[in-house]
Amino acid sequence: SDNGPTNNSGGGPIDGLVNVISSKSCGSSGATEEVTALSGPNGHINFLTCGINGTGWNPPLINIKGIVTVDLSAVAYQNDSAFANCQDFVATFEHYGSQYGIPAILLASFAMQESSCIPSTVGGAGEQGLMQLTSDKCVGAPNGDCMDVDFNIGAGAMFFSQLLDENDGNLLSSIGHYNGWFQGMTYANATAAAHGGNCREQNNLDYLHQFLNGWCQNINTYEHNPPLGEYFNLNVCN
């Protein structure tokens, strides 16, 4: 179901739409109160992916306090929650969210987007666990088990915190980077792997919209009708 957005302690403007610090010549955010196939309270997909179809991705400047989200603990235990798979891990998301100054809903949204919040998930390039950590982020895992839930969430939160620092708080840059995006990435860059040996290594061009206007609103990105997105470039891998 399409649960309406509510603001939490992690941020979000009073009027229920994203607060953009700088559009970087990307124009209006195109934010809508209702979530649609292409838009939502955190902006239109063309705004979030600004430049992808031209000279390269040049994301607008938005920080954590400017986005609209729900509160994880308020929605996770609802019968129709998009975060049903994450119920056993809410306290851990909240713990590391508090430690790194990141709303727990963002960490849980990464887990849903990356692994459907299933701790045993192994990605196409060997990424591990809930947060789909690459091998370099698994150093120090207890008994070498990178799927250990506490370690996995903590390491994912630390990595995202580092991305925020490296990107001067730009949330879009940081979320995109988590999925392998980079400043100046073009459509051709993002989809190149579709023509190579591992189709699943493409960058999901609908990632930002699905993350911010799907999971962060307690909407199941994978079950929403109509589907959230415009590109669906990973579908060619099925």
pLDDT at 2 over 70: no
Q: What is the pLDDT at residue 58?
A: 97
pLDDT tens digits for 99-141? 999 999 999 999 999 999 999 999 877 899 999 999 999 999 9
Q: Residue 34 pLDDT > 90, yes or no? A: yes
The answer to whether the CB of 113 falls within 8 A of the CB of 146 is no
Q: What value does the mean pLDDT take over residues 149-173?
A: 97
Confidence tier at 10 by pLDDT (50, 70, 90): very low
pLDDT tens figures, 166-214:
999 999 999 999 999 999 999 999 999 998 878 888 999 999 999 999 9
